[in-house]
A and B are shown apart, each in its own frame.
Chain A
């Protein structure tokens, strides 16, 4: 997966949680939870979605690397290389 594909998969997982999400307007550096009004259940479901889409384990302490869209893409890219 190249970064573009990873980004699209992350956006797909996000729109499962927030269907009204507009991929064009989302600020890749803004905190996701505030930007998309995600609560802890939403975020857990988002991580679940990524887990299914990428087949990687995402330990809870790594959540802090996933605060923004860019953060998620970078984190997953690193995980994919490691896997």
Chain B
């Protein structure tokens, strides 16, 4: 048996709401299939199962309450297991984690270390938890007197009475404000933890733009490419050459990712932004990548992203040039290792073969995590992107 817990859909997520179950007890579920819709500060996320199995039972019903990351939400019987009564255990590490399996078990259960803070959170009755959130009490003040030290509603009331300085009821904040708060927390963490280095170069786009223009001329509007897709593909292919910048900083070291999932910063019309993944961006043709980017943008703006899109990016690209600035020096989205920024496509006087001619150019910048790489590696990545964009027909 495994538990499906409130997943952490990005570095900035601490809590989520269960909006809807997409599976019923007894239904089979495949890895990657949508099990539930989870509301985060940024979107309503179609959350995917990490395992193949059977949806055994829901531990929580959809309701309008914020639940901390790690809260058990449902039990999934993994393929091959016999149905059994399940004693919920605490596994707040990943979206789906393994719990002790009742004997006889077909496979050894994997025990995952339990975060102490999350354990504390779970030794509290749902009613008490809700009261804590309503009253805005610091959970460190709570002393559990229930069975096994469980925090009861009375304990919460006692803590509230003993804390005259406790803040008033938690304010009801709208999504725009919550997104602002989430971005504030993540970006502050990034700037405090990650020693960024910044590099910049100017890339001549004459060949890339000429190629796109020529190609689009023969195509109906439904099949046209945007130059931005070439930039994304160039980043993805360049990362194959410089893989040190593709991955995550975890447990005090860089973990490279074999897969290249490019997070694309998409600004939302109500304010704020999301940077969901274009999965395996190095693997697809430009046409397919364009189709995927259109779909991703549409869903990001409609608040409907998949959990893997929120958690998988191995690098992020931001194209603020769309908003008219020459260049952007971005902040890395933790735990990623780098961020590439593109400025505005502009015509500039440029020296070609000793003569000054007007050329379309774009500023490309790299923000790198200096713990993982040195500027030299970063420079190689920008250089590789430049070279790839000079042969657009090969992208």
Set B220, B297, B324: member contacting A41, Cβ < 8 A: B297
> Distance in Å from the Cβ of A24 to the closest Cβ of chain B?
19
B216 near A60 with CB under 8 A, answer yes
> Distance in Å from the Cβ of B42 to the closest Cβ of chain A?
18
Interface size class of B (residues with CB under 8 A): 20 to 34
Q: How far is the CA of A44 from the CA of B298 in the complex (A)?
A: 12
Q: In B197-247, which residues have CB < 8 Å from any A CB?
A: 213, 216-217, 220-222, 224, 226-228
Q: How far is the CA of A19 from the CA of B324 in the complex (A)?
A: 22
B293 near A41 with CB under 8 A, answer yes
Residue in A closest to B266 when the chains form the complex, CB atoms:
A41
B283 at the interface (CB under 8 A from A): no
> Distance in Å from the Cβ of A19 to the closest Cβ of chain B?
7
Residue in A closest to B226 when the chains form the complex, CB atoms:
A40
A to B CB contacts below 8 Å, 8 in the list = A39-B322, A39-B323, A40-B226, A41-B293, A41-B294, A47-B221, A57-B221, A60-B216
B293 CB contacts on chain A under 8 angstroms: 41
A48 CB contacts on chain B under 8 angstroms: 221-222
Which of B227, B319, B322 has the largest count of A CB atoms less than 10 A from its CB? Answer: B322
A44 CB contacts on chain B under 8 angstroms: 221, 224, 226, 294
Q: In A27-76, which residues have CB < 8 Å from any B CB?
A: 34, 37, 39-41, 44-45, 47-48, 51, 57-61
* Chain B facing A: main interface SS: helix
> Distance in Å from the Cβ of A36 to the closest Cβ of chain B?
9
Interface size class of A (residues with CB under 8 A): 10 to 19
Query: Shortest 5 CB-CB distances between A and B: which pairs?
Result: A39-B322, A60-B216, A51-B221, A40-B226, A47-B221
B227 CB contacts on chain A under 8 angstroms: 40
A77 CB contacts on chain B under 8 angstroms: none
Give chain A's interface residues, CB within 8 Å of chain B: 18-20, 34, 37, 39-41, 44-45, 47-48, 51, 57-61
B217 CB contacts on chain A under 8 angstroms: 59-61
Q: A41-B228, A44-B221 are in contact. Are A60 and B213 (CB under 8 A)?
A: yes
B269 at the interface (CB under 8 A from A): yes
A37 CB contacts on chain B under 8 angstroms: 269, 323
Question: B311-352 interface mask toward A, CB cutoff 8 Å, 1 = contact, 0 = none?
Answer: 000000001001110000000000000000000000000000
B269 near A40 with CB under 8 A, answer no
Q: How far is the CA of A38 from the CA of B213 in the complex (A)?
A: 20
